[in-house]
Homo-oligomer: A and B are copies of this chain.
Amino acid sequence: MTITITAFERSPDGGKGLARDTRVRWALEEVGQPYEVRPVSFAAMKQPAHLALHPFGQIPTYEEGDLVLFETGAIVLHIAEHHAGLLPDDAHARARAITWMFAAVNTVEPPILDLVTARILEGDKPWASERLPLVMDRIRGRLQQLSARLGDADWLDGAFSAGDLMMVSVLLRLRPSGLLNEFPSLKAYVARGEARPAYKRAFDAQLSFNTGKPLAG
């Protein structure tokens, strides 16, 4: 059954891999599943046809036969549950990997999204420069705790899992801010994620998709 995902017709980041379709592409590459990508324009995302797939008018969506899913975390978990490579076999380790998926999107990502709000949505407001350090400090608090838990391990809980895929993807959003440089172990953790062949394939595919240039090699 063909898997089809949606992605921005042109990603706002111009192909830096920060749009959420990259997370789903990465998961599909890790488990070796081919997929097709349907571009959606900003205008089309708010139209009924797309809202029927994604009630919040975003990307990515996931279609496989009769199944339609949205929410990156749910899509990655669905892929991980149906193909080997992203969740451990041991039941307890599996539950802990899923815990890290939720931690990524519910505990670590919200203060990072607030940085986007502060810089982009409220960048022209009179409070922008005074508020920014507060937002940055809240992110630092989370990164400190995450760094303490990671310690000198390669991944958050044993082998690489869907939890790491989600956490690395969330942390990647911080690169332009320079905050990762303050936490060398997390910077190295993100680099380990980016060095995975499946990540590289996913990144190159979204870059080619966004720039219209063919894949190298």
Which stretch from A1-9, A28-36, A70-78, A174-182 is at the chain B interface?
A: A70-78
Query: Shortest Cβ distance from A139 into chain B, in angstroms?
Result: 13
- Determine if A86 is an interface residue (Cβ-Cβ < 8 Å): no
| Contact residues, A91-116 vs B (CB, 8 A) | 92, 95-96, 98-99, 101-103, 105-107, 109-110, 113-114
List, in ascending order, chain B residues with CB within 8 A of A142's CB.
56
List, in ascending order, chain B residues with CB within 8 A of A83's CB.
none
- Determine if A149 is an interface residue (Cβ-Cβ < 8 Å): yes
Query: Shortest Cβ distance from A45 into chain B, in angstroms?
Result: 11
- Determine if A136 is an interface residue (Cβ-Cβ < 8 Å): no
Q: Is the Cβ of A55 less than 8 Å from the Cβ of B125?
A: no
Quick one: closest B residue to A112, CB to CB?
A: B110
Q: Is the Cβ of B148 less than 8 Å from the Cβ of A103?
A: no
Q: Give Cα A127–Cα B67 distance, bound, in whole angstroms.
A: 45
- Determine if A66 is an interface residue (Cβ-Cβ < 8 Å): yes
6 contacts between A and B (CB under 8 A): A70-B103, A74-B103, A75-B99, A78-B98, A121-B134, A122-B134
